Chain A
């Protein structure tokens, strides 16, 4: 199936550092969602973006919907050990009856205390 390009694939950082990851697509999306998945669990919704240019924060997390509607980024400030996990972006295309999500390939984040 179709997937978004997400980068980086993995990040190994020190506690307290800031983190940035992004997703790009060849298609235009009308919605971008960011999820975090812990091992053996389902993804948990972090931030939802609905308008081009929209910048939304959720605690230490900030995400933006790119102006071109083909990209989005997620920033995590002052990382802590519990930020460890896999982060996925997901986009929903314009139109279509099913409104299904297309997922990014994921970014594995490791935080060293």
Chain B
């Protein structure tokens, strides 16, 4: 069975500092990987996705993530955070077999931005 681990429940970062959110996955074959962001009381917005090809993927809002197969990781990064980045971040995985399938999510990382 597939699983996703986000080891950091909370992360506090100063505005303007760099950010890295960790994500490790467990899946027997080639996965599709996603990062979603959720602001309080809102739905989930897709930041970026990895299906195949270049292992460094660019997303919206200045975020990027790197797929490392050898480490089963898909960490999210941003060079300089803004106060508006404060939110809950979810990593998710799904199998790359034909057709859409349900996502398996990590527990989320709550990002706090200090002024």
A binds B: no
